[in-house]
Structure 1
Amino acid sequence: MNNVYNESILVCVYYGRNGERLIKRGCAIANMMKSPLYILTIDPKPFDELDAEKIFYIEQWKEYANSHPTAQFIMKDNESRPVSKVIAEAARENNITQIILGQTAHSRWEQLTKGSIINSLVREIPFVDLHIVSVSRYIQDEEGIYDKGIRAYLIKDGEHYKLSFNHDKQTEYEGIFFKEADTDFDNGIFRLMKDAATIHVLVIDGIVTELKNVDIHTAMGLDDSVE
C-alpha cells in the first residue's frame, strides 16, 4: 500500500467495547489515505498481571491489527509515565500525523493521570492532528437493534415527556435518542443527564412516561434471565 498522503494514524484504545469502534474509524481513515495504522494501548501493570478480561480485549485488538494490511499493534505495559508521554513517544517513533482518542478513554486516562491528555499532547507533539471521537452517540448493540444516536430533546407534556428533535424554550432535557431499527415509530432509548448521572429511559411512540433508568441489556431483550 502506497502512503499517498504521507500520513500515519495512531488509535489509542482503553479496555472496553468502544475500542473496536475506534479501531474501525482508524481503519477507515487509513484505507482512505493509504497510510499505516498503529493501535496503542497502555497499562501501568505488567502484562502477566493483567486479568482475563483485559487480555481478551488485547487479543481482539491484535486480531484487528492483523486483519489490516498496514496495521501494527503496540502494547505499552508496566508503564509508570504519564499517558500523554507514552502516546507522544509512540507518535514520534512511528512518525504519526493523526491520533484518534475515544471520549470515554480520554476521560478515563485523564482520571488516571490527573491532568488533561489533550493539553499535554498539544504541548508534546503540536504538529499532530488529534481526533476525539464521541462515544455518547452509541450504545452497546451488537444485534443492530438500534440506529446511531441523534440529538433530541424532552418536552414536558402533562405527566409525561414528549420527544422532540427541535430545541425550544419548553425543553427540559437534552440528550441522545437511539431509535429502534426498521420501524417508522419513535420507539427506542433516550440517554440524558439527570442529577449529575447518565440514565437511559424508554421512549414509546415518541413519549417518555417516566424518567426511570432502564438496563440496556433488558431493553434490548438480551437479558438471559428473562424468558
Structure 2
Amino acid sequence: MNNMSNESILVCVYYGPNGERLLKRGCKIANMMKAPLYILTVDPKPFDELDAEKLFYIEQWKEYAHSHATAQFIMKDNESRPVSKVIAEVARDNNITQIILGQTAHSRWEQITKGSIINSLVREIPFVDLHIVSVARYIRDEEGIYEKGIRAYLIKDGDHYKLSFNHEKQTEYEGIFFKEVDTDFDNGIFRFMKDAATLHVLVSDGIITELKNVDIYAAMGLDNSVE
C-alpha cells in the first residue's frame, strides 16, 4: 500500500469482545487513508503467566494482523510503566499519527474516561490525533450472568459435540467456555476458531447440538451499536 497521506494508525486493544470493534474502526480509517495499521495491547504480567482467556484474545489479534497486509501486532508484556508511557513510546517508534482507544467499563482503559491517559498522551505526543471510541459495556457480566472464561475442548459425539475440560485424542476444537453463573450445569457460550473465523456457540448441559454461530453481543446482552 502506498501511504500517500503519511498517516499511521495505532489501535489500543484490551481483552474482551470490544477489541474487535476497535479493530474494525481502525481498519476502516487505515483503508480510507491508505495507511499502515498497528495493533497494541499492554499487560503488566509476563506473557508466560497469562491465562487461557487472555491468550485466546492475543491469538485473535495476531490472526487479524496477519490477515491484513499492512497491519502489525505489538504486545508489551511485563510492563510496570503507566499505559500512557507505553502507548507514547510505541507511537514514536512507529511514527503514529492517529491513536484509537476504547472507552469500556471493565478494563484498564477505563482510566481514559477519567482523562488521565488522554492528558498524559497529549503532553507526551501532542501532534498525534486521539480517537476515543464508545464501545459496548459488559451489561450482562455486570449482572453476574457469565463466569470468567476457562480453557475447554469440543469432542464429537454422534451428531453433536460434548464439552470437555481435558484435552483428549478425540478433541476437535479448542477454545474458551463462558459458563452461566448460579447453575450446576455446563450452560453458556463456547468461543473457538474454525476455518480462520471466530465462532460463538451455545452450550446446554455440556452439549453443543450444532456449530452455529450466535451473535455474541445479543447472547451476552451487549449493546453492539457504534456511535
Count how many residue pairs are aligned between Structure 1 and Structure 2: 145
Letter in 1 for 2:7: E
Instruction: Measure, in 2, the Cα distance between the counterparts of 1:19 and 1:36.
Output: 18
Larger mean CA deviation between 71-80 and 102-111 belongs to: 102-111
* 2:133 maps to 1:133: yes
Matches within 5 A, 1:106-125: 108-111=108-111, 116-125=116-125
Equivalent residue number for residue 99 of structure 1: 99
Matched, 1:77 2:77: yes
Task: Please identify the structure whose Cα radius of gyration is greater.
Answer: 1
Structure 1: 5+ residue stretches without partners: 141-215, 221-227
Distance in 1 of aligned mates of 2:47 and 2:221: 36
Correspondence for 1:90: 90
Aligned residues of 2:14 and 2:107 also touching (Cα < 8 A): no
Counterpart residue number, 1:5: 5
State the partner residue of 2:40: 40
Is the Cα contact below 8 Å between 2:111 and 2:117 reproduced in 1? no
Aligned residues: CA RMSD: 2.9
Question: Contact 2:12–2:39 at 8 Å: present in 1 too?
Answer: yes
In the other structure, the counterpart of 2:219 is: 217
Alignment match, 1:19 = 19
Alignment deviations for residues 131-166 of structure 1 (CA, whole Å, 9 cap, x no partner): 0001149989xxxxxxxxxxxxxxxxxxxxxxxxxx
Regions of 4+ moved over 2 Å: 105-112, 136-140, 216-220
Residue 64 (str. 1) matches residue 68 (str. 2): no
Work out the percentage of aligned pairs sharing the same amino acid: 86
- C-alpha displacement at 1:124, in angstroms? 0.6
Q: Does structure 1 retain, via aligned residues, the 8 Å contact 2:102–2:109?
A: no
Q: CA deviation at 1:4?
A: 1.3
Q: 1:53 to 1:7 in 2, by over 3 A?
A: same
Q: Secondary structure at the match of 2:75?
A: strand
Q: Secondary structure at the match of 1:127?
A: coil
TM-score, length of structure 2 as denominator length: 0.58
Counterpart AA for 1:23: L
Contact 2:4 2:34 in 1 (8 A): yes
In 2: Cα distance, 1:60 partner to 1:102 partner? 17
Name the SS of the counterpart of 1:74 in structure 2: strand
- Structure 2 counterpart of 1:211: none
Q: TM-score, normalised by structure 1?
A: 0.58
Unpaired runs of at least 5, structure 2: 141-217, 223-227
